[in-house]
Amino acid sequence: MPWSPLLTTRSLTSTKRINCSLTSALEFLHDPKAIIDLNPLVIGREPHPNDPNLYTIKDRMKVLGRYVEFDYTAKFTFREDGCETEVRAPGGTTLKSRWTASEVEGGVEVREEVTATTYFFLMPMTISGLKAPHDVLRERLAAKLEGRSVDQAGTTITNKSEAGDHSGFLSLKFMFCISALALVFSVVLRFGSPMSIPMLLLLLFLAACISVYLSARKSRDPYGTFHVSLNRPLEEPRSIPNTEWLNMGYWKDTDEFPKACEALALKLIKAARCQQGGHVLDVGHGSGDSLLLHLRHPSVPRPSCLTGITSLRAHYLRSCERVRQTQKEITDIDHAPEVHLFAGDAVYHPSDDPHHPLSPTSPTKPYTTILALDCAYHFNNRHRFLQQSFHHLASGGRIALADICFASTGTTIAKFVRYLIGDLGVVPKENVITVQQYYRQMVDLGYVEIEVEDISKDVFPSFTRFLSSRGVVWGVFARVIGLLQIGGARFVIITGKKP
């Protein structure tokens, strides 16, 4: 790849202890066919006729909702302690990997060092795509060397592939979402044109938006723990924040992120008409700040039972810790709510734990209130969540969501962006619906007294300004929110009652 000021390089290192002999590990690492075949996406491999260590590999994967096949090359070089590979991938990306094996107590340690070189706007997506699938690959390698079922060890990556997540032996999935952009970049930089500058700016914007969003999306959850820094004051960047909020906020009477987030949560609780002594289900509660409101905020009615579920285990564990600490501080033990927390998808699936809050066999009593604070547009899918919630609400119980839907009209550009949002998975296609369609879904499911309040003007503008003030990376993320707005996004509080 010729040098370019747009190129950047990043490295990742990981290790795996395996219960096998050093000889077995090295024999495997010296077999390129065996290494390639660890990838469940591979549908073909051919060695070069003049170089048995150079392979052309064909993968089949889901890109933008459709299955595609593509070829790339991988060059293997063998060392005494392992092997090295160099991959030439689409989008102007080069991946160099070094696998080594060394003896340790109880077996061997296999170490993988990956160096990625690509355009800077592709790097977040490339790094994100490297982590999860390579964890699976190490598990499959261990299974192979330890004599266990490789198919069972590889189910995670297969399932991720079907779900459209970042996966692939050589970490190329989703790189194709914008590899065409990289190609145009190369043409513009090499030959130039009267439109090169505006074209460059447009491509940078689109690529950065898609790249940052996808880099934030890990597994089935779009968030990690990066949000904690948003709760710190700019003038105290190393301080430990008292809150760990993660929502877009309701900025009508404040310009501080934690206060805006709390204001949105309180507005949702008020819209839900929570009852004293009720049974509340809070889905997608993140690190637990919304749960704490039910335990100690003076304006929130105390439930007798509080149930929560969040999809990211790090959030679940942090919520458990914070709830336990808050419970210790509650002096009125007789009126302290009973709390049950779960880690998992908000939508119940047949393979889930039967104790899932929305499981048909869940032993929990019906909920008087179900809350979804700035998360339901991520659900796969929201309609199923609304349906399951209806069945688990008590008669007279209410559901309330702070959610995103879209205007029923718009320009051609807005409609195209809306299509792009769904096709890239920024919001699942099934959830890219208009306000009217959202309302109709709830009517069809049986909800009554449905109310919709559009609070977009008190959410999007201030939230994007706040993100832009937090540095370059957050500024790019703000552009993703801007992309939603271009598509006609509306931030609403929507409530419904079960008769």
Q: Is 3.40.50.1970 the CATH classification of the domain at 7-216?
A: no
pLDDT recorded at residue 83: 92
In angstroms, what CA-CA distances link 367 with 311, 390, 391, 392? 20, 10, 10, 6
Closest to 369 measured CA to CA, from 308, 321, 299: 308
pLDDT recorded at residue 392: 97
Cα four-point dihedral sign 208, 211, 215, 216: positive
pLDDT recorded at residue 62: 54
Closest to 80 measured CA to CA, from 57, 53, 98, 97: 98
Q: What is the chain's length?
A: 499
Type of residue numbered 482: G
Radius of gyration of the chain (CA): 25
pLDDT recorded at residue 238: 76
pLDDT recorded at residue 67: 61
**Any idea which architecture 229-497 has in CATH?**
3-Layer(aba) Sandwich (3.40)
The DSSP symbol for 336 reads: P
* One-character DSSP codes across 258-272: HHHHHHHHHHHHHHH
pLDDT by residue, tens only, the chain of 499 residues:
444 455 678 778 888 899 999 999 999 999 988 888 887 677 888 888 888 899 988 877 655 445 667 778 889 999 999 999 998 876 667 888 899 999 998 899 999 888 888 766 566 666 666 666 667 777 888 888 888 766 544 433 333 333 333 322 333 333 344 444 444 444 444 444 444 444 445 555 555 555 544 444 444 444 455 678 889 888 787 788 899 998 999 999 999 999 999 999 999 999 999 999 999 999 999 999 999 999 999 999 999 999 999 988 888 989 999 999 999 888 776 678 999 999 988 999 887 888 899 999 888 899 999 999 999 998 888 999 999 999 999 999 999 999 999 998 877 878 877 877 776 666 888 899 999 999 999 999 999 999 999 999 999 999 999 988 887 767 777 877 887 888 899 999 999 999 9
The answer to whether 76 touches 55, Cβ cutoff 8 Å, is: yes
* One-character DSSP codes across 338-377: EEEEEES-SS--TTS-TTSTT-TT--SPPEEEEEEES-GG
Residues of the chain with CATH 3.30.530.20: 7-216
393-406 β-sheet, strand order: 338-343, 305-310, 279-283, 367-373, 393-406, 489-497, 448-454
pLDDT recorded at residue 480: 75
**Paired tokens of 44:** 């073909």
To 5 degrees, how large is the angle CA 382–CA 291–CA 374? 35
Residues of the chain with CATH 3.40.50.150: 229-497
* Residue with tokens 């959410």, as numbered in its chain: 459
